Amino acid sequence: MTDEASGGVAAQQGGLMAIRSFARVMCRPSFPGWGKKAKALFRHKTAELLDQLYRDLMQQAEVKLFVECGAHEARTSIEFVSRTGGKAIAIEANPSIYLEKTQKAHKYGVTTLNLALADREGELPFHIPADPRIAGSASLLTKASGTHDAVMVQTKTLDQVLRSHGSPDAPFSLWIDVEGMAFPVLMGGTETLANKHCTLIKVELEEVPQWLNQITAREVDALLQSFGFVPVFCDLEYESQFNAVYIRESLVARLLPSIIAAWHALGKIKLSAAERLLPKVAKMDTDLID
């Protein structure tokens, strides 16, 4: 079976863990067996490929609204508005990050919100690591090791956010990078997931818990599939943490050529000679999860 055909079968028939296993098989021949930095660079390349696929699928699905959950600097929201002229909502829970980075996206036409997404409205402690190297892992959840500062933040559900900005009546997509909170965020978005116009989802997942009381990838996968979403691609960004792309099942046939092409490209990733000698990964925290 060719790489393309194998990718098509995995996209149509595989559950999330099958997709994850297939990605490992595709990358194994070229995965570097030396050096932590070279391995991190290779993993970063798989994440870049996934992001490019997600953008391509958004364009093909004619997405008009992009919702970035865990936006940080809202880079993808800015790019979406600039490229398509569509609407974007960037949501960031960390008050400091929001003030320093996220709200700057306003000048590009992005709607920005400083709140935490959860499965209910209210107020909860948000835990920010004391170590600035891993500040990106701030979450409503906590880890067993390390120290953190807690600040109270407003919480809303994804359904509430979308209702307050007008229920989407055209194709929209979700980007969920919420540090272990994917399941509660999606549970607060069941109305959103049931909306036939919700076409694409990119979500960061963990195979094993990285936070206390975390619900992991298998449960998230089951929830999304129960709403008619199919996992079609994943990366290998970290050993236990990865990103996955889901699409509404009715769109699989239409988008399958691009999905197959991405699987083929995943199997072709290699480090150049220069990258093998001097691997550099910009803005990546390889100590987070490895």
CATH number at residue 181: 3.40.50.150
Q: Within a domain: residue 189? A: yes
* For range 3-17, the mean pLDDT: 54
Q: Within a domain: residue 217? A: yes
Cα–Cα distances in angstroms (integers) from residue 264 to residues 30, 135, 161, in the given order: 13, 35, 37
Length of the chain: 290
Summarised one tens digit per residue, pLDDT across range 181-240 is 999 999 999 999 999 999 999 999 999 999 999 999 999 999 999 999 999 999 999 999
**Beta-sheet strand order (sheet of 241-248):** 111-114, 87-92, 65-69, 172-176, 198-206, 241-248, 229-234
Number of other residues whose CB lies within 10 A of the CB of residue 143: 19
Summarised one tens digit per residue, pLDDT across range 243-266 is 999 999 999 999 999 999 999 999
Q: Within a domain: residue 12? A: yes
Q: Within a domain: residue 279? A: no
| Containing structural domain, residue 118 | 3-253
The helix or strand, by DSSP H or E, that contains position 204, with its residue range, turns out to be strand 198-206
Core vs surface per residue 214-252: b (16+ CB within 10 A) or e: bbbbeebbebbeebebbbbbbbbbbeebbbbbbbbeebe
Tokens of 104: 């700057």
Whole-model pTM: value is 0.90
Q: Within a domain: residue 98? A: yes
Q: Within a domain: residue 102? A: yes
Nearest to 185 by CA among 245, 120, 275, 280: 120
Phi, psi of 245 (to 5 degrees): -110, 130
* For range 120-148, the mean pLDDT: 81
Q: Within a domain: residue 119? A: yes
* For range 131-153, the mean pLDDT: 78
* Residue listed under structure tokens 């989407």: 168
pLDDT at 273 over 90: no
pLDDT at 10 over 80: no
Nearest to 280 by CA among 46, 44, 31: 44
The burial class, CB within 10 Å (0-12 / 13-18 / 19+), for 142 is middle
Q: What integer pLDDT is reported at residue 280 of this predicted model?
A: 65
Tokens of 289: 């999860």
Indicate the number of domains in the chain: 1
pLDDT at 285 over 70: no
Q: Within a domain: residue 168? A: yes
What confidence tier does 14 reach under pLDDT thresholds 50, 70, 90?
low
User: Which of the two residues, 104 and 289, has the higher pLDDT score?
Assistant: 104
Q: What integer pLDDT is reported at residue 143 of this predicted model?
A: 85
Summarised one tens digit per residue, pLDDT across range 85-128 is 999 999 999 999 999 999 999 999 999 999 999 999 999 999 98
User: Which of the two residues, 131 and 164, has the higher pLDDT score?
Assistant: 164
